[in-house]
Chains A and B, each alone.
Chain A
Amino acid sequence: MHEISIAESILEIAEEQARAQNARSIQLIKLRLGEFTTIVREALEFAFEIARQGTLAEDAVLEIETVSILVRCAVCDRATQPVVGICLICTVCGFPMEILTGEELQIEYIEVETEEEWIKWKLSQKELPQGQQSESRSRPTS
């Protein structure tokens, strides 16, 4: 259930960035989520659905990239991807291993729509004849 706090925090960061760009809405939030965290992807997606209401990201897509665990032995340089459980003692030389990837919780980028782009889109909709309007419903994003 801690995913709701994480979702709120993600939205807070994304909104801060979006406001700095004078954006009127957030279209997409790209997240990198490591496997070696206590955050469950499905739970985070569900929490995001709730937390985004009333924010600039109300209609945003949350795109999550899962980052696998990769560990490496500092001594023999052997890199492995643990399958079941994690053990940070190298099975070859017995020295400690370090986690290279898998601990990520990172907003990689966001896509926003600025006021200018939105007005442009609205105007383009008015210029189009009635029949074509429905076809160009997908709005451009930057």
Chain B
Amino acid sequence: MFEDHGLLVINLMSAPGAGKTTLLEATIKSLRGRCRLAVIEGDLQTDLDAQRIQALGVRSHQITTGTVCHLDARMVARALTVFPVDELDLLVIENVGNLICPASFDLGEGLRVVVCSVAEGAEKPRKYPVMFHKAAVVLINKIDLAAASDVDLVELEANIRSVNPTATIFKLSCKSGVGLDEWTEWLQHAVAARQASVLVGA
């Protein structure tokens, strides 16, 4: 159904603490005035993340799953009644922090984006291959911590490629801001391409 609205939907996934919400905040700030977006947040408990997004003046809705380890399409469908989807260009669904279960659930998204922070170690893509294999985009976050975490970024990137040779990879740090522009510019192009495909009836 999202295709009909020219709306780009992102399923944003990572391990807990990789920096999804901080990355989302930075992305929102960068895209401000350039696209109309909304956010669905998934967590087991609390609406802390939805509050963080709302503080930036962006519409957000929190799904609390209780004990469920992932979001599924039914939960997203229920949340959609809150958003007028035809007034949006971009909808980001921030999944429950988990590198296993969310990989198996299609939320109707156009893009799967996986965030991987360097502090998790270089071998994570090989340990959780299904998640990384299914990602269209992998964002390597917290690269400012690479030296402190004793992680080789070249090795991490090679490990992502070993399970997903065609992934689009960005290396960035939300703290220092390095690499963020490349990602947000790419994302803006993706949003525009999504709309263009609807205009030409593709």
Contact = CB atoms under 8 A, between A and B. Distances in A.
Interface stretch (A34-42, A117-125, A131-139): A34-42
B87 to A, nearest CB: 30
Interface in A23-49: 36-39
Interface in B67-124: 67-70, 72, 100-101, 103-105
A96 B163 contact: no
A96 B162 CA distance: 8
B147 to A, nearest CB: 27
B166 interface: yes
B130 A36 contact: yes
B-side interface size class: 20 to 34
Given A85-B126, A86-B129, A88-B133, A2 B162 contact: no
A36 B130 CA distance: 7
A105 interface: yes
A5 B101 CA distance: 10
Contact of A88 (B68, B70, B164): B164
Interface string A63-102: 0000000000000000000000111110000001101000
B70 A5 contact: yes
B202 to A, nearest CB: 24
Interface residues of A, number: 18
B36 interface: no
B162 A5 contact: no
Contacts of A6: 104
B165 A97 contact: yes
Contacts of A85: 126, 129
